[in-house]
Copies of this chain bind each other. A is one copy, B any other.
Amino acid sequence: MKRPISFEIEKRGAGLARAGVLKTPHGEIKTPAFTPVATKASLKGIAPSQFKELGVQGIISNTYHLFLSPGEKLIEQAGGIHKFMNFDGPIMTDSGGFQVFSLGVGFGKKVSKFSSEEMFDFVNPTDGFTKSNIAPVVFDEEFSTSHGKLAIVDDEGVSFTSHIDGSFHRFTPERSIEIQHALGADIIYTFDECTSPTADHEYQKEAMDRTHAWAKRSLAAHRQDPAKDASQGIYGITQGGRFEDLRIESAKALADMDFDGYGIGGSFSKQDILGILEVVDNELPEGKPRHLLGIGEPEDIFIGAAAGIDTFDCVVPTRKGRTGCFYTHAGQIIIRNAEFKEDFSPIDPDCDCFVCTRFTRAYIHHLFRTNEMLGPILGSAHNIHFLTKLTANIREAILNKRLGAFRDEFFGTYQI
């Protein structure tokens, strides 16, 4: 049966780098590509009618957020996420795994471990928990006092409280797929367990094994709905944390399942993951597309593309942009700084986006200093364009067999 997602490699570069075309039911993405994050079915400050101008070929949206508000049923009722947000291009939805753990547990904070027995005190026994079916889990140690965040993992799935209203919910692989079917994106992801960056090898291995089991269950749940299986592609997410042996094991395990593509996940410092991308991509089927989940600043995109990543997403560019940190070919600038008050040059003289061709640093400095809405809008737009254009240029470089030379040129001026 013809799959809804297909991928063609147009040209191979040095090492694992490749330029290709990812075909989806809502159009193509020429890769490598930066596909920005529209967390709640909205790219911050940007209407879908502006996507083309900003070089946005596709986006990724968040299952966890859309599940909580407005709810997947409403989006299904609207005719799916494309109609809901009025974007007719390729859309992915992640599985919610990352958000359940990061928002539920307080990712990135100091964590501590709780035993299964300790965990039992937090769960609702009517949900079917027993002391033996709850896995030990790492928690933000302040969860019970500061914000009541809570996520409890067991072999069946994860129970968690909403970061919005504290309401209690439960995701299983089957439930995540059910929600993603209702949302109706072109590409959906398997439900995975995101561990803490400080998790040890033992816990990481345990979580990875659970992630593999959940990947199988996610795939089975997807296949069970032939209409959805025919209209939505599914990517498996590999995990394994910062441990190379686990990364290889995870990539092999996922490669053995019949996915349309692969997401490379992980809740840990990006230095760790980038170093082992080649290891992972070497194990994944060469002809399938690969998405690097949640990592995509300029230096990451160069490393990722060289290691065979096809698509990237990251909230950092829009978050930085709307708070006044702009990418330029010389590095990042904080536009509020006094040095830009009388600077009548564009944000980036080497950029052709509408922000750089129409407005000066002095004007945008003024917008941020006086809290005008237009400032964050321009910041979001410019940074998105900067990354889509950079990735398009990386693609061109791969097609022309000069990725290394282009990287040297870029970092000849760009200061991290």
A residues apposed to B, CB below 8 Å: 40-49, 65, 69-70, 74, 77-78, 84-86, 322, 341-342, 344, 354, 358-360, 362-363, 365-367, 369-370, 372-374, 376-378, 380
Contact = CB atoms under 8 A, between A and B. Distances in A.
**Centre residue among A42, A77, A342, A362 by max chain B CB count within 10 A:** A42
11 contacts: A42-B374, A48-B358, A49-B354, A49-B358, A65-B370, A69-B370, A70-B365, A70-B366, A78-B344, A84-B362, A322-B373
Contact of A69 (B47, B369, B373): B369
A49 B381 CA distance: 14
A60 to B, nearest CB: 16
Contact of A367 (B42, B48, B74, B77): B42
Number of copies: 2
A362 B70 contact: yes
A343 to B, nearest CB: 10
B74 A372 contact: no
Nearest to A48: B358
Nearest to A87: B358
B78 A360 contact: yes
B363 A373 contact: no
A410 to B, nearest CB: 29
A372 B360 CA distance: 26
Nearest to A359: B86
A70 to B, nearest CB: 4
Contacts of A380: 373
B44 A374 contact: yes
A373 B369 contact: no
A83 to B, nearest CB: 9
A366 B69 contact: yes
Given A374-B46, A374-B47, A41 B366 contact: yes
Nearest to A355: B47
Given A65-B370, A69-B369, A70-B365, 10 more contacts: A40-B372, A44-B372, A45-B373, A47-B354, A47-B377, A49-B354, A70-B362, A77-B344, A78-B360, A78-B362
B40 A366 contact: yes
A253 to B, nearest CB: 36
A79 to B, nearest CB: 8
A44 B373 contact: yes
A45 B377 contact: yes
Contacts of A69: 366, 369-370
A110 B46 CA distance: 41
